[in-house]
Copies of this chain bind each other. A is one copy, B any other.
Amino acid sequence: MAEDMEIICVGNELLIGKTLNTNAQWIAKQATALGLIVKRVTVVADDVQEIADAVREALGRKPQFMVTTGGLGSTFDDKTLEGVAEALNRKVAVNAEALNMIRRKYEAYAREKGAAPVELTRARVKMAKLPEKAEAIPNPVGTAPGVRVDLEETILIALPGVPSEMKAIFKETVVSLVKQVSGGSGFYEESVYVEGVMESSLAPLIDRVMRDNVGVYVKSHPKGRESRPRIEVHLSIVAGDGGVAEGKLRRAVVQLSGLVGEVGGKIVFG
């Protein structure tokens, strides 16, 4: 059985449409490839109460993993850890390990410029204020550490919003964690294109392919118009064994190809 993940993205810039949420897509793709099922993505504002509500609701659905992005930095509107703490009924407190990571970063920045080490101002110490009993995760690219909180049913990971930092922490730490916990299943997929059949005519054929190929999920994505159709058909399966998965996908494509031919259409690859 595949494990579930929920993603919570924090940031006003996402809610005013200033920033495209590439973080959610990237994490969803990585998590899916690791065999997880992403059940929900939630985007909320830089507001402690909004964040706390979203985290509390998501924890109530008991995903094995929850990843948050954004809101870990030094400015007043970086509020994710306060929100997480509130959802968990914990306090935030300066975490010694996190503070050490941050101090070493600023020492390195100063060395890089040949300048005197900068002061650990309130804004910088803020990045070390973690929910109690949380763990700091090294940030190989930026300053603010990631954060991990192990709860009864869920491992919660808070990542920065800057994509390069988010990705670096995910690759360095989250991937191996997920591999430890999940059963090593993988996600396999294939896309073919159907021409000459309207989506509404294709619908019952897809139903039949899904009924006959248990475990294979088939979804159509119209690329042309209903009147001049070119439809991407995306087939996918989560399985422990790559060979078995690919055999099942192949059989499903062959059946679909036959059914599409019967109604005067054809299948094109790529």
> Interface on A for B, CB 8 Å cutoff?
12-22, 24-32, 37-46, 50, 54, 57, 73-77, 105, 108-109, 112-113, 118, 121-124, 126-127, 141-143, 162, 187, 189, 198-204, 206-207, 210, 217, 219-222, 225-227, 234, 236
Contact = CB atoms under 8 A, between A and B. Distances in A.
B17 A29 contact: yes
Nearest to A211: B76
Contact of A39 (B15, B30, B234): B15
Q: Which of A18, A127, A225 has the most CB of B within 10 A?
A: A18
A150 to B, nearest CB: 24
A38 B20 contact: no
Q: Which of A30, A109, A112 has the most CB of B within 10 A?
A: A109
A13 B226 contact: no
Contacts of A113: 227
Given A17-B25, A18-B189, A77-B219, 19 more contacts: A13-B219, A13-B221, A14-B41, A16-B38, A17-B38, A21-B21, A39-B44, A39-B50, A41-B42, A57-B57, A73-B199, A73-B200, A74-B200, A74-B203, A75-B202, A109-B227, A121-B201, A123-B200, A142-B222
